[in-house]
Amino acid sequence: ESISVLSDALSQIESQGNVSMNSTSSGSVVSSSVDTESIVGRELGTHVYKYTHLEPILYALGVGMSTKDPDHLKFLFEGSEEFCCLPSFGVIPAQTSMFDGVPSLPGLNIDLARVWKNKVANFAWELTSVSTVADILDKGSGAVLLIDVNTYCGKDLVCYNQFSLFFVGAGRFGGKRTSEKAKLTAVPPKRPPDAVISDVTTVDQAALYRLSGDWNPLHMDPSFAALGGFEKPILHGLCTFGFAARNVLKQFANNDVNRFKAIKVRFANPVYPGQTLQTEMWKEGNRIHFQTKIKETGEVAIAGGYVDIVPALEKSSTQEPQMIGGLQSNLVFEEIGRRVKEMGNELVKKVNAVFQWDITKDGKTAMQWTIDLKNGSGAVYQGPARSSADTTFILSDEDFMDVVQQKINPQKAFFAGKLKVKGNIMLSQKLEMILKDYAKL
């Protein structure tokens, strides 16, 4: 459906403008205007992206993260106390939302839609992305479609992406060249960069990154790459994007995903797997300008990029938990305790796990609770787990109440860094059966 809409748009351009979509002719063409009103605002479709902890880890590996760097562990190990997704992971569910309905490529025995839809696995969580045509631009040599993608966890907006799709030979239809809806890049300061980080990509970088869902044969098949005018398969642009994003996150936000607010880039030149990416960064207030160069050639791969970051909060010098009253979450745990006394034996059989909750207030641990559904007939008590906890949850009192009252989806809270999990993250699914009963407290 999504591609048929794009096809409709380009067919209008072709028929009304008398221009072939693949034409590279430089001849003068007089065209009538295209009915852009029937195109702009049309929904391309809705795509559900299903994932577990595996997908964020695989993505992190695909953009060059390594266990050689201790700072990378929280993005690679689901058992880390601070386990979380890279902010740039948000492009993955958004990009795949545009894959539905991709037709077979003429003359080639390749069906991109079939490659994507045949991916089968058992998943735990879902993100839903809705794609919409934001605008259509006439660049002369081609047409540009601006695609807005909003990604939701339930009803909660997780992230927003905008993609620019350029179609060679589909221009000269009398349309506008610019749009106020386009998110613009920014020119970096005219001074030496404040920081430079180099990353050597491996020859298998594209082979690894494609496992995050971009199955375009341009990045693997030499024959297909040759059809595109490349001497060999090229690296995914969004892989290069991921390298740059994580470098900015580490250099200027200390890998705190909560401080990552927005990112914008323009892809300028292709990168070949095995080449060295050089990310140059400039700090201007809360905006980090950056560009990525190919060290071997000096060419700019990403131009005009920037990341907007949130200022860091002051950290308290007090590290020990300060058990305080007045927390709304206390009422929930007390009620859970009463229910466990009534149904403990049944819950222990179903769950067989010990959960510890570290409830924070103003950035400090304010209270600890343990839900033991593993030993005896179960128990709920204040304080850390008396035996080893299988899973530990860390979140604020306010966020805990939002999760319990279903004002925020636990997946979104985790994705946004509000909920941190240590230990066996998959056991958290079993805990849902308990928390769902207390949504109306």
Query: Are residues 368 and 382 in contact, defined by beta-carbon separation less than 8 angstroms?
Result: yes
Cα–Cα distance, 151 to 340 (Å, whole number): 37
What's the CA gap between 398 and 52, in Å, rounded? 26
From the list 39, 57, 136, 234, the catalytic residue is: 234
41 is catalytic: no
Residue 204: burial class (beta carbons within 10 Å; 0-12, 13-18, 19+):
exposed
Strand order in the sheet with 260-267: 195-200, 276-284, 287-294, 300-309, 260-267
Whether residue 53 lies in the annotated active site: no
Candidate list 45, 90, 142, 237, residue with the active-site label: 237
148 an active-site residue? no
Task: Render the burial of 144-159: b for 16+ CB within 10 Å, e for the rest.
Answer: bbbbbbbbbbeeeebb
What's the rounded Cα separation, in Å, for the pair 294 and 188? 17
Is-contact 236 214, C-beta < 8 A? yes
Position 72, amino acid? H
Our answer to whether residue 234 is catalytic in this structure is yes
Quick one: which of 404, 387, 395, 385 has its CA closest to 358? Answer: 395
Cross-strand partners of 303: 266
Work out the burial of residue 37: count CB atoms within 10 Å of its CB; fewer than 13 is exposed, 13-18 middle, 19 or more buried: exposed
Q: Using CA atoms, how far apart are residues 121 and 52, in angstroms rounded to an integer?
A: 10
Nearest to 170 by CA among 3, 9, 13, 4: 13
Provide the greatest CA pair distance for the chain. Answer: 83
DSSP track, 16-81: HHT--TT----S----PPP-GGGTTT-EEEEEEEEE-THHHHHHHHHTT--TTSGGGHHHH-TTST
> Which of 214, 372, 390, 399 does the annotation list as catalytic?
214
Place of tokens 């990341």: 307
Active-site residue identified among 219, 289, 305, 378: 219
> What sign does the dihedral 228-233-236-241 (CA atoms) show?
negative
108: enclosing H helix or E strand: none
User: Could you tell me if residue 117 is left (phi over 0), alpha (psi between -120 and 50 degrees) or otherwise beta?
Assistant: alpha
Which residues are catalytically annotated?
214, 219, 234, 237
